[in-house]
């Protein structure tokens, strides 16, 4: 089995073959964010879970030391104890445990506004007009920046998501987008130093750990991370929800009649079409994984999307079943110390978006020929998708 048989819209047969025949595999042609080639690909649930959680052997510090400022300086590219200091000492204090609850009214307002606009039509390119709008506006509100900047945020996220993993765009566009984001956020930092407000960036700038404030490099890395992860994950999740609803129209009626089951539906979509299909790690020391000898310094790509379809953990994994009784958690938001901070917010946004849409429309149908995917090993990302519906 070779990566030539991988397909962005349906990578799951490839994952199955690899889990059963080549579960830990060195792919010399795989392109990493900074242009490096070659990495170990990991496909089984238990192996993926170990790579995500065992930071003594599998470090998140995989960027080269000369990578420059920007996303590469985000705290997620560190390991404990440094990671714990940044995550718990700074970011979680600024983010807060009640963020999803606080932003729920905003998500409801945005969703209702968009659905009311869509009601005037009977079809739309749903990613740009629905799936992407809700999370990017929520990120703007969270960070305390103008909603007018949402489109620019979305453009940066699209470029970085694609270029960051050897997709359709090149490393130069990736670098330019990072530079533009850096200039933007440095301006935001200056404004908020003069006039702090009750938002994530202001709180982050005013938070101390061991008596020390974050410097601009750390602030920048965290701001870019929150923008990209917060937008891309939720956008992809909402789009995938619509794909499932189109494929299984009976669920539209069921969830419309029983909206209390929408959270279960979202959980199964996360397993079935994990928004992030893979992440990166680096071997911190020589280690054996899945019977393969991995050398210190080797890059590693654990596939969350494959782990969540592992037949050893999930019965009939290629069947969508929102009533599924889970004996293990899916790994869509990672595992261990690096588990996604915004997972509750992402799920809340998706629940609100789907409920609002199902309250207003029926007969949701995806035009499969219209689907354009990110050519990405990292995300299950629908770039464009035409959807039609009928009004209730």
Q: Which one, of 208, 324, 327, lies nearest residue 265 by Cα?
A: 324
Q: How high is the pLDDT of residue 375? A: 81
Q: Which one, of 302, 310, 311, 313, lies nearest residue 277 by Cα?
A: 302
Cβ contact 55:79 at 8 Å = yes
Q: Whole-angstrom Cα distance, residue 61 to residue 78?
A: 5
Q: How high is the pLDDT of residue 4? A: 47
Cβ contact 150:133 at 8 Å = yes
CB neighbours of 170 closer than 8 A, spacing ≥ 6?
Answer: 163
Query: What is the edge-to-edge ordering of all strands in the sheet holding 24-31?
Result: 24-31, 37-42, 299-302, 281-283, 58-59
pLDDT digits (tens, 9 = 90+) for 87-96: 999 999 999 9
The backbone region for 336, taken as left when phi is positive above 0, alpha when psi lies in -120 to 50, beta otherwise, is left
Q: How confident is the model at residue 178 (pLDDT cuts 50, 70, 90)?
A: confident
Q: Whole-angstrom Cα distance, residue 304 to residue 44?
A: 9
Q: Give the count of alpha carbons within 13 A of 203, CB side only.
A: 15
Q: How high is the pLDDT of residue 3? A: 46
pLDDT digits (tens, 9 = 90+) for 226-277: 988 889 899 999 999 999 999 999 999 999 999 999 999 999 999 999 999 9
91: which 2 tokens?
A: 């970011």
Give the residue-averaged pLDDT of 144-173.
78
Domains of the chain (ranges; CATH) run 3-391 (1.10.630.10)
SS3 124: strand
Q: What percent of the chain has pLDDT over 70?
A: 93
Q: How high is the pLDDT of residue 2? A: 45
Give the residue-averaged pLDDT of 142-171.
79
CB neighbours of 282 closer than 8 A, spacing ≥ 6?
Answer: 58, 59, 60, 61, 62, 297, 298, 299, 300
Give the residue-averaged pLDDT of 337-364.
96
Cβ contact 99:345 at 8 Å = yes
Give residue for tokens 């071997």. 283
pLDDT digits (tens, 9 = 90+) for 42-88: 999 999 999 999 999 999 998 765 555 556 567 888 899 999 999 99
Q: Which one, of 325, 300, 246, 268, lies nearest residue 54 by Cα?
A: 300
CA 170 to chain centroid, in Å, comes to 21
Taking the alpha carbons at both ends of the chain, their separation in whole angstroms is 47
Q: How high is the pLDDT of residue 8? A: 86
Average pLDDT over all residues of the chain: 91
Looking at residue 214, what DSSP letter applies?
A: P
176: which 2 tokens?
A: 């330019």
Give the residue-averaged pLDDT of 341-366.
97
**Residue of higher predicted confidence among 175 and 185:** 185
pLDDT digits (tens, 9 = 90+) for 1-50: 344 477 889 999 999 999 999 999 999 988 876 678 899 999 999 999 99
Q: How high is the pLDDT of residue 62? A: 85
pLDDT digits (tens, 9 = 90+) for 196-217: 999 999 999 999 999 999 999 9
The backbone region for 236, taken as left when phi is positive above 0, alpha when psi lies in -120 to 50, beta otherwise, is alpha
SS3 92: helix
Is pTM beyond 0.85 here? yes
């Amino acid at each position: 089995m070779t990566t030539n048989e991988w397909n962005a819209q349906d990578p799951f047969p490839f994952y199955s073959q690899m889990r059963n025949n080549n579960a830990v595999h060195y792919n010399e042609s795989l392109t990493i964010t900074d242009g490096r080639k070659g990495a170990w690909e990991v496909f089984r649930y238990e192996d993926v879970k170990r790579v995500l959680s065992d930071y003594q052997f599998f470090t998140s510090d995989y960027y080269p030391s000369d990578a420059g400022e920007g996303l590469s300086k985000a705290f997620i590219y560190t390991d404990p104890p440094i990671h714990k200091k940044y995550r718990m000492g700074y970011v979680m204090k600024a983010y807060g445990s009640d963020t999803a609850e606080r932003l729920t009214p905003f998500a409801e307002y945005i969703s209702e506004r968009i659905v009311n606009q869509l009601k005037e039509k009977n079809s739309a390119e749903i990613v740009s007009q629905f799936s992407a709008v809700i999370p990017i506006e929520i990120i703007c509100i969270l960070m305390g920046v103008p909603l007018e900047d949402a489109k620019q945020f979305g453009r940066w996220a699209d470029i970085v998501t694609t270029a960051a993993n050897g997709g359709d765009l090149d490393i130069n566009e990736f670098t330019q987008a990072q530079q533009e984001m850096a200039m933007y956020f440095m301006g935001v930092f200056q404004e908020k130093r003069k006039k702090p407000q009750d938002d994530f960036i202001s709180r982050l700038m005013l938070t101390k750990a061991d008596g020390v404030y974050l410097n601009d490099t750390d602030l920048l890395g965290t701001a870019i991370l929150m923008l990209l992860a917060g937008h891309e994950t939720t956008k992809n999740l909402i789009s995938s929800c619509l794909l499932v609803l189109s494929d299984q129209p009976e669920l539209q009626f069921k969830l419309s009649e029983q909206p209390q089951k929408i959270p279960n539906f979202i959980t199964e979509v996360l397993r079935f079409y994990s928004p992030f299909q893979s992440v990166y790690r680096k071997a911190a020391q020589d280690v054996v994984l899945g019977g393969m000898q991995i050398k210190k310094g080797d890059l590693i790509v654990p596939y969350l999307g494959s782990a969540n379809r592992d037949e050893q953990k999930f019965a009939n994994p290629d069947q969508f079943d929102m009533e599924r009784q889970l004996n293990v958690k899916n790994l869509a938001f990672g595992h261990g110390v690096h588990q996604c901070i915004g997972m509750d917010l992402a799920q809340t946004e998706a629940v609100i978006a789907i409920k609002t849409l199902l309250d207003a429309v029926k007969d949701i149908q995806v035009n499969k020929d219209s689907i354009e995917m990110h050519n990405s090993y990292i995300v299950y990302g629908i770039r464009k998708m035409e959807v039609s519906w009928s009004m209730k």
